[in-house]
């Protein structure tokens, strides 16, 4: 059996969150994860995809704004896994090696950490965390951060599946990651030398002028 290069394990993650009906409503509201999409990539190959709805604990009833924006129904989250089960699922990916966690934006990890604190559960990841939207911004020198699907369209591609579907967004994040990494490798390659670089034409001309 081929030994896995544990230095090349990446987890591409996208969460969808609960949303308040309006600012300050309900009192004490904070976003909770209601859908997870996860793509495990080992040595540049997709090894696993995971998708599930997740039951919110503090504010279990979805607002109309949330249902309309995400097209997620109350029954779907009611039948989802618990937040504790979500943490256990993510811990399974960390048994052999720490993953590099890649998300589009920084909200996913912020909400995950906050929810772990609220539920007295351990944060499941120890490895490096990369906000790909910031990598994209720096790489292209953009003034503002670009939305996930706008970024992939700027590459002349289309997003996978449906926007704001967690697994589709995680797959789209992975696709952008591959495109950016390819561009980085291309730019880091030294330009091939030309015949002008190899020959000092002034010396050649002087020789024939004698």
120: CATH? 3.30.420.10
Asked if residue 1 belongs to a domain, the reply is: no
What pLDDT sits at residue 182? 85
Q: 115 is in which domain, residue-wise?
A: 6-209
pLDDT 10s digits, 108-137 = 999 999 999 999 999 999 999 999 999 888
Please give the distance of CA 178 from its chain centroid, rounded to a whole number. Answer: 11
Mean pLDDT, range 70-99, rounded to an integer: 94
What pLDDT sits at residue 176? 92
Identified catalytic residue from 10, 16, 32, 35:
16
| Residue 16 a catalytic site member | yes
Asked if residue 131 belongs to a domain, the reply is: yes
Give how many domains the chain has, as a whole number.
Answer: 1
Asked if residue 67 belongs to a domain, the reply is: yes
Report pTM: 0.82
Identified catalytic residue from 114, 135, 154, 164:
164
Q: What phi, psi does 193 have (nearest 5°)?
A: -70, 145
With H, G, I as helix, E, B as strand and everything else as coil, classify residue 77.
Answer: helix
What pLDDT sits at residue 188? 65
Mean pLDDT, range 47-53, rounded to an integer: 97
What pLDDT sits at residue 1? 35
Query: What is the C-alpha separation between 160 and 26, in angstroms, rounded?
Result: 34
Residue 3 has pLDDT above 60, yes or no: no
pLDDT band at 5 (very low <50, low <70, confident <90, very high): very low
Asked if residue 53 belongs to a domain, the reply is: yes
């Amino acid at each position: 059996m081929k030994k896995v290069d544990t230095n090349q394990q990446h987890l591409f993650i996208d969460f969808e969150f609960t949303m308040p009906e309006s600012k300050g409503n309900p009192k004490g509201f904070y976003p909770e994860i209601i859908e997870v999409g996860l793509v495990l990539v080992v040595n540049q190959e997709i090894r696993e995809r995971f998708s599930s709805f997740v039951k919110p604990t503090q504010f279990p009833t979805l607002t109309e704004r949330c249902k309309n924006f995400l097209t997620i129904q109350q029954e779907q989250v009611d039948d989802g896994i618990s937040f504790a089960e979500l943490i256990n699922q993510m811990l399974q990916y960390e048994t052999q090696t720490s993953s590099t966690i890649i998300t589009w934006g920084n909200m996913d990890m912020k909400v995950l950490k906050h929810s772990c604190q609220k539920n007295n559960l351990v944060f499941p990841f120890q490895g490096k965390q990369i906000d790909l939207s910031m990598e994209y911004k720096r790489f292209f020198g953009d003034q503002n951060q670009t939305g996930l699907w706008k970024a992939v369209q700027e590459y002349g591609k289309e997003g996978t599946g449906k926007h704001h579907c967690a697994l589709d967004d995680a797959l789209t994040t992975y696709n952008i990651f591959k495109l950016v990494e390819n561009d980085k490798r291309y730019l880091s390659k030294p330009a091939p030398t030309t015949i002008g670089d190899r020959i000092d034409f002034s010396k050649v001309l002087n020789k024939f002028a004698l």
